Amino acid sequence: MDENNVKISCAKELSPNTLKGVGLVGSFGPLPLTMGSRMKYSLKGWVSRKVYEKTVVPAVEDPDPTVFQKQTMEGITARSETDKALFENVEFRDFLVDQERECLRQGSQGVTDELRIAVKDWGFDLQSISLEKIRLWCGTEEVEAPIDMSRNIEMQISQAKLVEFQGDTHYSTLATRGEQILRELLFDDEKSYGQLLPKDAYN
């Protein structure tokens, strides 16, 4: 299960004495979908799994590690000039490729599990979450978990606060916004909301 989904569930179930706050970066949440939309996303998940089984998993299992690295980089950098420049940093590139490889080491089931969880009934409404400190951060060019999902979470949880990073993608947010996100979560530094801090090491 995606770590952000776990955090949302914890925000619902744990008392304020146990959990002081929750931070979500590029997050999925339970989606308010019609039956037709649920069927659409379920089909999308099934198709995604089949594609991964035919193309991505064989690359992961290839004894030549550069096969999966090349496939991953082609897929990511084709979507964004920002990401293309970002992945010229070898350290960051290798970190992300290794992370993707580990996610798929046991097959493609996990790829579709996250989508399946997002579109099913979670058993509670986001409006029922009473935890006071809920912070969200998301790049406006995020495609892994589009920013509308974070906006939907903020809209449904009255005490939630979303910071939007203009022009940032999923990967540029991870690479350049870590210090800012950590500062806001730990110290609730409202002066830093939406402000660019010194960029992280992977820039």
Is 38 contained in some domain?
Answer: no
The predicted pLDDT at position 197 comes to 47
The predicted pLDDT at position 163 comes to 95
pLDDT per residue over 107-129, tens digit each?
A: 777 767 776 776 677 788 888 99
Residues 17 and 77 in one domain: no
Q: Kindly tell me if the per-residue pLDDT of 181 is higher than 90.
A: yes
Q: Are 56 and 32 in contact (CB under 8 A)?
A: no
Mean pLDDT, range 68-97, rounded to an integer: 86
pLDDT per residue over 24-40, tens digit each?
A: 998 877 766 566 666 76
How many domains is the chain built from? 2
Domain end marker among 115, 139, 155: 115
Residues 55 and 110 in one domain: yes
Residues 61 and 107 in one domain: yes
The predicted pLDDT at position 24 comes to 93
Give the strand pairing for 134-139 and 160-165: parallel
pLDDT per residue over 118-159, tens digit each?
A: 667 778 888 899 999 999 999 999 988 889 889 989 999 999
The predicted pLDDT at position 22 comes to 92
199 versus 118: the higher-pLDDT residue is: 118
Q: Kindly tell me if the per-residue pLDDT of 7 is higher than 70.
A: yes
Is 39 contained in some domain?
Answer: no
pLDDT band, residue 85 (cuts 50/70/90): confident
Domain end marker among 94, 115, 136: 115
How does the average pLDDT of the chain come out, rounded? Answer: 81
How many Å apart are CA 158 and CA 82, to the nearest integer? 33
Is 201 contained in some domain?
Answer: no
Domain containing residue 92: 46-115
Q: Kindly tell me if the per-residue pLDDT of 56 is higher than 90.
A: no
Residues 24 and 59 in one domain: no
Domain end marker among 97, 115, 133: 115
The predicted pLDDT at position 115 comes to 67
Residue percentage of the chain with pLDDT more than 70: 80
How many Å apart are CA 36 and CA 83, to the nearest integer? 34
The predicted pLDDT at position 77 comes to 80
Is 197 contained in some domain?
Answer: no
Residues 128 and 159 in one domain: yes
- The enclosing domain of 146 has a CATH number of 3.40.50.1820
Residues 82 and 107 in one domain: yes
Is 94 contained in some domain?
Answer: yes
Residues 83 and 106 in one domain: yes
